[in-house]
Amino acid sequence: MPSLEGRNGTRGSGGGRKLSAPRLRSDAPERAGLDPGLPRRLVQRVRDLTAGEPPWAAGAVVAVGRGPVLAVEEAAGWAVRYAAYDARGGTGVELPASSRVPVTPGTPFDLASLTKLFTAVAAVQQIERGTLGIDAEVGAYLPDFRAAAVHRLTVRHLLTHTSGLRPELPLHDCADGAERLARLRAEAPAGPVGTYRYSDVNMLLLQQILERITGRALDVLVHDGITRPLGMTATRFGPCPGAAATEDQRRPWAKADRGMLRGVVHDENAWALGGVAGHAGLFSTARDLSVFCRALLSGGSYGPARILGPGFTELLLAPPGLGFALDQPWFMGELAGRGAAGHTGFTGTSLVIDRATDTFVVLLANTVHPCRRPPDSRPRAAVATEVARAVRDR
């Protein structure tokens, strides 16, 4: 496998001295201080996750690295297995074997809420540049968003999910973009400001701020400030041909009637917003996300590229975390407890970076293919725990 290199020493944010950090290379686990049996165990796990009836996911890819070593990159199952969902039988309608598409390590997946991590990095880049204040009020940047201004919501409230805003708005039911924008402008906190309440709306407001202060769309900010400097050529907002399929999206189990989805965003609100949203919309591969993880573990640098300075990477990942969740055993397993940071996505994705051991775990899966169901993060936690126990020198 080739070295995973960034491009030409581009800096993604700020200015100043050019930093350099190790690039990832594929190598044996023991070269990274990991148990040499880890790949075999994780191969079995991803195979188990994509087996059975129904499987946890139709397909899955896992990538694990420590230091500059990408020690595991394994795939199993199907990127496309089902033609439709049979609601009466509660089962997927399987494609003929000749029409199925296998998952490979390079298969892109709909990241769902992992998109929030990129929005958070884009915001902290603006904080580093001095164009955004973390404790500045939303109303200072979006005076037309009267509800946020009246309740004196701040950028920090949005990044830490303490705005009191409800988890989501039914923007997919709005007639047009003008109505969707009006709903966002009028949305007031439904709970106490300062109390944690996870909300997609936070990242939608943050997107509005970033686009207002920079004059550039979020997809451009993510590309120019994060993915292009890091050489993450497989990471983009959709459409993304060749991505793993997600849901046969129909009412009543979904919020829109769109049929079997592949290469277009699963989240209904992100779809209604044209596929580019602060909370969802990105597609990526395990390898690209490994580079993202390595950059954050290296203080914001990857090779000669820099997307954040070390102090601002610390701001991003220090308690309580800006956009990132910290030390959550329900999906981080035994990696939680020492400042591990990460996130999950509704489609079956997750990412964990553990600064205490310089380790990362990426698990991409299409658990919503062919239909959404109650989330089960036990496999995510089990994979992370397997990695935590493989670290030889804690």
pTM: 0.94
Percentage of the residues of the chain whose pLDDT score is greater than 90: 93
Closest CA to 126 of 21, 198, 30, 214: 214
As a whole number of angstroms, the distance between CA 68 and CA 161 comes to 32
Distant-in-sequence, close-in-space partners of 297: CB < 8 Å, separation ≥ 6: 353, 355, 358, 360
Give the per-residue pLDDT at 255: 95
pLDDT for res 18: 53
Average of per-residue pLDDT values in the chain: 94
CA 248, 245, 263, 344 torsion-angle sign: positive
What is the per-residue pLDDT for 394? 60
Buried (b) or exposed (e) across 309-340, using 16+ Cβ within 10 A? beebbebbbeeebbbbbbbbeebbbbbbeebb
Element housing 182 (H / E): helix 177-186
Beta bridge partners of 110: 283
CB 263 within 8 A of CB 38: no
Q: Which residues contact 329 (CB under 8 A, 6 or more apart)?
A: 336, 337, 381
Quote the CA–CA distance of 81 and 256 in Å, as a whole number: 22
Run of H or E including 210: helix 200-214
What gap in Å lies between CA 261 and CA 283, rounded to an integer?
A: 13
Tens of pLDDT along 40-80? 999 999 999 999 889 999 999 999 999 999 999 999 999 99
> What is the predicted pLDDT for the residue at 12?
41
pLDDT of residue 11 exceeding 60: no
313: pLDDT strictly greater than 80: yes
Find, among 344, 368, 350, 283, the residue nearest to 56 by Cα. Answer: 368
| Torsions phi, psi for 349 (to 5 deg) | -95, 155
- Which pLDDT score is estimated for 52? 87
Q: State pLDDT tens for residues 97-118.
A: 999 999 999 999 999 999 999 9
Is residue 1 very low, low, confident or very high in pLDDT (cuts 50, 70, 90)?
Answer: very low
- Ordered DSSP codes for 236-254: EESP-TTPPEEEEE-TTTS
Distances (CA, A) of 311 to 52, 138, 207, 210, 301: 46, 24, 23, 21, 12
Q: Whole-angstrom Cα distance, residue 280 to residue 121?
A: 14
- How far separated are the first and last CA of the chain, in Å rounded? 28
Q: How far apart are CA 173 and CA 165, in angstroms?
A: 19
